[in-house]
């Protein structure tokens, strides 16, 4: 069905962002901009949530809302991700009300970039056009880099430059992949490409080139997401960014990982090669193992979180990579895992941000005994951590259960029972390592003796702990009623 | 592939390789500009001939698109970098790898590349030969980036890598050209902004010194 709602989803944050930018362009509005910037961001976030919510009734009954010509499309395959992205953005905007202390960018410019970031994330989720996906990927990354450099500390520029170089090169890999498809087939819309037998055959008849395109997409988007071994920027970027930017960028994997799936899955449909699955699964597995092992040795909780994130990105990619020509459940399981993981990770990073806000330090060796004074933050941290580990009744448990079940079935069908058992054993071992890392970090930060050199008067302001508590509650509610989220996730066959 | 296009691509690849050996930041930026001129000239000349022969609106639009691509890569991006250098410093630094080893590496990459073209079945199709040239220039640009400590040289290398994809960009729908160009200029401007801010913080544009100063 032709609809302007997908386009409106992009226009709302972009338009409100431009309005915020205007407030700092004129001198007489500067004072107004400084005083109202945080409130304007919150209002914009609420408005930006309205359009995805308006699309839910259509998408749930299986309608496809499409803005033809621009390749934007909302359906059951992306509505849950859209709404989750908008809700998480809103919660971090609430957190921003108390946590933002200013930086290199003026408040109006800062708001503009944040809203542009949201617009690009929506664009990535809605776009089915190859060039559209490339443009939105590059924009998401570009805006993230500016936001990293916003932090007025010395480390931020170095981290931003590293981030820029790695991700700009990787974006060129995405462009090479996109251009190769376009030069060969003359088509940039993924759905049109799959609907045309002749164009499909052009790609299917040249398997080495198809594998080259898949490799370009995995390298390109893998580096943008922060998957091992292309993750170089991630552990430096998190400690160098402000605590709020860490919250906003924690949402980024939802659109980026789904974009990678949207680029690779159609190619698998054209040429169902086990090499494509092996490349995706391999990247996922390397990220899982590398992330978990590296997180173990970290003392800085931001760096620990960065490696835990690599581990979680690996899990999400692994779940989405169990591609099979007959099984449509994989996409639902993968997306469910991805949304749950992002939910818990956002809660976790905001809680860590609150600790940093109150103590001014991120080295876990110099922290301790914060439970009494920061009990709400401690509660949200442990609930989100337990969800990531996969302890019932948190949502992470159900997500991990589905992942393990799907993995066993996949490796049993395409391998044998020994391989399937080994993979399950590996996933369980990694979950145990994550458990040790996160519980140990909770112990180091919140339990034990309080340090004399840290003067913490009480918990962070309500606008900072409320979003983290809401996120912790969400993980419990979805854990008890997973169908609340699963029923919104559908699968659209590309062809 | 037409002979003039092939020739310009060979010249562009040679200039990209030369970029790996330059000492002074401004010279690297100059080579970036020459590389972009070389890459874009064949497309631009073809569009100009089409315009003169055809004299129609479609040919005019294509000419303007090609000119915009050429202008942004050969003039706008180098000027942004040049402005950044005037705001910071124009330094002379040698590549991290010794010049002789670097030359051996570049020659090896070129030989491997020629062997790959001769061997590979997938590159036989005419239009895909352009892709293979793009990949060669892309590899040289990446080599320039990984062997340098000067942030502006690294950024110039990134721009050379972007320019190396321009022969393929000539094939994209005309409506997308402004978006792609804006995005590429945006990345260059953002990189320059980050380097200027880093220079204010650390007092140098050598990336290894940023970390060293911190410790």
Answer left, alpha or beta for residue B55, where phi above 0 means left and psi between -120 and 50 means alpha: left
Q: Do B173 and A188 touch (CB under 8 A)?
A: yes
Q: Do B191 and A164 touch (CB under 8 A)?
A: yes
In terms of Cα–Cα distance, which of A139, A115, A20 is closest to B183? A139
Tens digits of residue pLDDT in A193-226: 988 899 899 888 888 889 999 999 999 999 999 9
- CA pair distance A256, A122, nearest whole angstrom: 11
**Is the Cβ–Cβ distance between A363 and A458 less than 8 Å?**
no
Q: Is B116 on the interface with A (CB under 8 A)?
A: no
Q: Give the mutation candidate from B190, B196, B202, B207 for the A interface (greatest A CB count, under 10 A).
A: B190
Chain A residues within 8 angstroms (CB to CB) of chain B: 104, 131, 135, 138-139, 142, 145-146, 149, 154-155, 157-158, 160-161, 164-165, 168-169, 172, 175-176, 179-180, 182-184, 188, 206, 208-209, 212
Its pTM stands at: 0.92
Please name the member of A139, A176, A206 whose beta carbon is closest to the beta carbon of B122. Answer: A206
For residue A208, give the chain B residue with the closest CA: B122
Q: Do A154 and B135 touch (CB under 8 A)?
A: no
Q: Do A208 and B120 touch (CB under 8 A)?
A: yes
Q: Do B161 and A172 touch (CB under 8 A)?
A: yes
Tens digits of residue pLDDT in A353-368: 999 999 888 899 888 8
Task: List Cβ<8 Å contacts ≥24 apart for B12-16.
Answer: B12/B38, B12/B39, B12/B137, B12/B163, B12/B164, B13/B133, B13/B136, B13/B137, B13/B140, B16/B137, B16/B140, B16/B141, B16/B144, B16/B160, B16/B164
Q: Give the mutation candidate from B171, B186, B194, B212 for the A interface (greatest A CB count, under 10 A).
A: B194
> Cβ contacts (< 8 Å) between A212 and chain B: which residues?
122
Q: Do A157 and B198 touch (CB under 8 A)?
A: yes
How many helices (DSSP H) and strands (DSSP E) are in chain A? 20, 2
Q: Do A142 and B190 touch (CB under 8 A)?
A: yes
Q: Give pLDDT tens digits along chain B (215 positions).
A: 677 777 888 888 889 999 888 889 999 999 999 999 988 887 788 788 888 887 778 788 888 888 888 899 999 999 999 999 999 998 888 888 888 888 898 888 888 887 777 776 555 555 667 777 888 888 899 999 988 889 999 999 999 998 888 888 877 888 888 888 888 899 999 999 999 999 998 889 998 888 755 54
User: DSSP letters along A257-319, please?
Assistant: HHHHHHHHHHHHHHS--HHHHHHHHHHHHHHHHHHHHHHHT--BHHHHHHHHHHHHHHHHHHH
Please report the pLDDT score of residue A100 as a whole number: 85
Please name the member of A164, A182, A206 whose beta carbon is closest to the beta carbon of B190. Answer: A164
Tens digits of residue pLDDT in A266-292: 999 899 888 999 999 999 999 999 999
Stretch A428-439: mean pLDDT: 94
**Is the Cβ–Cβ distance between A363 and A299 less than 8 Å?**
yes
Please report the pLDDT score of residue A327 as a whole number: 67
CB-count exposure of residue B214 (10 Å: 0-12, 13-18, 19+): exposed
> Cβ contacts (< 8 Å) between B190 and chain A: which residues?
142, 145-146, 164
Please report the pLDDT score of residue B192 as a whole number: 94
Tokens linked to A128: 């089915």
């Amino acid at each position: 069905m032709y609809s302007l709602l997908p386009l409106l989803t992009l226009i709302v944050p972009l338009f409100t962002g431009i309005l915020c930018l205007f407030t700092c362009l004129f001198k007489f509005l500067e004072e107004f901009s400084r005083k109202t910037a945080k409130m304007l961001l919150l209002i914009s976030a609420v408005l930006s949530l309205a359009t995805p919510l308006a699309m839910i009734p259509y998408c749930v009954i299986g309608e496809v809302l499409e803005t033809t010509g621009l390749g934007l499309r909302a359906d059951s395959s992306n509505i849950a991700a859209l709404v989750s992205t908008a809700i998480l953005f809103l919660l971090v905007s609430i957190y921003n009300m108390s946590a933002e202390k200013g930086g290199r960018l003026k408040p109006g410019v800062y708001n503009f970039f944040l809203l542009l970031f949201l617009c690009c994330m929506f664009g990535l989720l809605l776009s089915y056009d190859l060039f559209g996906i490339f443009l939105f990927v590059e924009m998401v990354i570009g805006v993230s880099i500016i936001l990293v450099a916003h932090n007025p500390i010395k480390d931020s520029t170095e981290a931003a430059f590293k981030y820029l170089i790695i991700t700009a090169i990787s974006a060129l890999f995405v462009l090479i992949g996109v251009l190769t498809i376009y030069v060969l087939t003359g088509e940039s819309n993924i759905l049109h490409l799959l609907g045309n037998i002749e164009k499909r055959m052009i790609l299917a008849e040249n398997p080495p080139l198809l594998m080259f395109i898949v490799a370009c997409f995995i390298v390109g988007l893998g580096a943008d997401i922060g998957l091992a071994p292309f993750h170089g920027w991630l552990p430096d970027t998190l400690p160098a960014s402000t605590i709020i930017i860490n919250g906003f960028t924690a949402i980024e994997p939802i659109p980026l990982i789904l974009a990678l799936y949207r680029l690779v899955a159609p190619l698998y449909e054209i040429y169902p090669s086990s090499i494509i699955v092996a490349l995706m699964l391999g990247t996922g597995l390397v990220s899982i193992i590398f992330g978990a092992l590296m997180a173990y040795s970290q003392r800085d909780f931001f760096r620990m979180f960065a490696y835990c994130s690599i581990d979680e990105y690996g899990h999400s990619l692994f779940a989405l990579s169990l591609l099979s020509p007959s099984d449509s459940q994989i996409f639902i399981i993968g997306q469910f895992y991805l949304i749950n993981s992002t939910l818990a990770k956002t809660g976790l990073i905001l809680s860590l941000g609150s600790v940093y806000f109150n103590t001014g330090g991120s080295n876990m060796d110099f922290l301790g005994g914060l439970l009494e004074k920061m009990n709400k933050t401690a509660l949200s941290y442990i609930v989100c951590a337990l969800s990531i580990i996969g302890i019932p009744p948190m949502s992470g448990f159900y997500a991990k259960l589905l992942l393990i079940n799907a993995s066993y079935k996949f490796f049993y069908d395409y391998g044998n029972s020994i391989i399937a058992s080994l993979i399950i054993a590996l996933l369980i071992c990694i979950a145990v390592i994550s458990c040790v890392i996160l519980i140990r970090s909770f112990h180091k930060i919140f339990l034990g003796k309080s340090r004399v050199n840290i003067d913490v008067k009480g918990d962070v302001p309500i606008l900072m702990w409320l979003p983290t508590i809401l996120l912790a509650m969400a993980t419990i509610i979805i854990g008890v009623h997973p169908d609340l989220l699963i029923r919104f996730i559908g699968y659209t066959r590309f062809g | 592939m037409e002979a003039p296009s092939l020739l310009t691509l060979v010249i562009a690849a040679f200039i990209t390789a030369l970029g790996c050996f330059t000492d002074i930041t401004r010279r690297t930026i100059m080579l970036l500009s020459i590389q972009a001129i070389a890459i874009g000239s064949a497309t631009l000349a073809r569009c100009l001939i089409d315009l003169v022969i055809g004299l129609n609106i479609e040919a005019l639009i294509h000419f303007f698109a090609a000119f915009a691509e050429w202008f942004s890569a050969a003039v706008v991006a180098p000027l942004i970098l040049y402005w950044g250098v005037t705001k910071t410093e124009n330094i002379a630094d040698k590549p991290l790898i010794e010049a002789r080893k670097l030359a051996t590496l570049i020659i090896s990459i070129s030989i491997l590349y020629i062997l790959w073209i001769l061997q590979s079945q997938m590159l036989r199709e005419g239009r895909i030969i352009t892709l293979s040239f793009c990949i060669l220039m892309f590899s040289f640009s990446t080599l320039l980036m990984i062997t340098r400590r000067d942030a502006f040289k690294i950024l110039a290398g990134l721009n050379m890598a972007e320019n190396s994809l321009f022969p393929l960009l000539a094939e994209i729908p005309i409506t997308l050209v402004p978006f792609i160009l804006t995005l590429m200029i945006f990345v260059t401007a953002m990189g320059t902004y980050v380097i200027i801010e880093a220079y204010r913080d650390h007092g140098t544009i050598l990336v290894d010194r940023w970390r060293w100063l911190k410790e």
